[in-house]
Amino acid sequence: MTIEDLKQQQLLIFECISGSKAYGLATPQSDTDIRGVFILPKAEFYGLNYVEQVNNASNDVVYYELKKFLDLLAKNNPNILEMLNMPADCILYENPLFAKIKQFNFLSKLCQKTFAGYAMSQVKKARGLNKKILNPMEKKRKSILDFCYVTHQQGSMALATWLAKHHLQQENCGLVKITNMCEVYALFYDASGGRGYRGIAHKDTSNEVALSSIPAGESPLTYLSFNKDGYSSYCKDYLEYWDWVEKRNDARYQNTLDHGKNYDSKNMMHTFRLLDMAEEIAQTQQVVVRRSNRDFLFKIRRGEFEYEQLLQMAEAKIQNIENLYLHSNLPEEPNILKINELLIETRESFYANE
């Protein structure tokens, strides 16, 4: 099933322009996002070839099969609820069957989680971006040697410093684990290399220190501690950071650098849009897609607020949202039985007119 198939077979019951253009937050660089709903032909629906979604390669154009669409509505998915409340200038096509779906009230207290909860996840994402920008990681990956320390006087010394100070090579070292002590080892040294010591790191990519067989009677030069937890945490951060570098949107990242506030301003703008919508749903039981506070949201996008200032505003909104939903007359969740009836009725009506 392709987008062309949907249109040629007249399977669409709704199509609209979504995203920034629907919110009234588009810029000259904004893409045109298209969303819609279709109903599979009866033979394919009853057969083995159920298709729940059809989209293009970039996901700028996405159509949902009726069952998936109503299932997402039952879960109060923000992007799907918006489709029931699109501004008239964004609606490209609407079948009378879809108009009947719009009459059903899907809103519930789940919106607190789906709108405000998602917004908070974006705040955390913004914090993560802030951390990456302020703490860039070198491309050269550290090894376990960078997380090893030896005893020195009444304290400790980095292994690399200690080796350099004594003109020693890590390859000629031998380690023996000290029993009952976590990641602590006796360190021996063989300048000739003839005793077969395995060194401290067998390879640059080693994740564990190497252990050696040490002849009885040998005396250790010092004792070594391997900060294994620190190394594991570093490896996680390293992989996450360079995965982010590889996948990041360079244009948005450059905008982040240009306004100098060290947060993804577009992401934060949509965070506040979602928080505003969560408040409105609790207060008015309506989903307002076209935003009336465009100027304020664009100030966020331009980076006119400090990062901590935005976080404080977001946290204040979240507290208010919690209070609003606590006292809201919204149902705890949508009526699943009624939604199921709506699904059956809509599908049967569509098939009756095929």
Which of 91-100, 101-110, 188-197, 318-327 is least confident?
188-197
Averaged pLDDT for residues 66-84: 97
User: Where exactly are the structural domains of the chain?
Assistant: 1-106+334-354, 107-136+249-330, 144-233
pLDDT value at residue 121: 76
Q: DSSP label at 178?
A: P
Averaged pLDDT for residues 278-303: 94
The Cα 46–Cα 44 span in angstroms is 5
C-beta of residue 98 within 8 angstroms of C-beta of residue 261: no
Q: Is the pLDDT of residue 260 over 60?
A: no
The rounded percent of the chain whose pLDDT value lies above 70 is 92
Range 1-106+334-354: architecture per CATH: 2-Layer Sandwich (3.30)
Output the furthest CA–CA distance in the chain (Å, rounded): 93
Neighbour order of strands in the sheet with 184-189: 155-158, 148-152, 222-226, 184-189, 173-177
Q: What is the pTM of this model?
A: 0.67
| Secondary structure (DSSP) of 109-131 | THHIIIIIIHHHHHHHHHHHHHH
- What the block records as the tokens of 145 is 């040697």
C-beta of residue 212 within 8 angstroms of C-beta of residue 246: no
The Cα 83–Cα 62 span in angstroms is 12
Q: Is the pLDDT of residue 175 over 60?
A: yes
Instruction: For residue 221, list its beta bridge partners.
Output: none
Cβ atoms within 10 Å, residue 341: 12
Torsion of CA 178, 183, 186, 190, to 10 degrees: 140
Report the chain's mean pLDDT, rounded to a whole number: 90
- What the block records as the tokens of 169 is 């090579």
pLDDT value at residue 287: 96
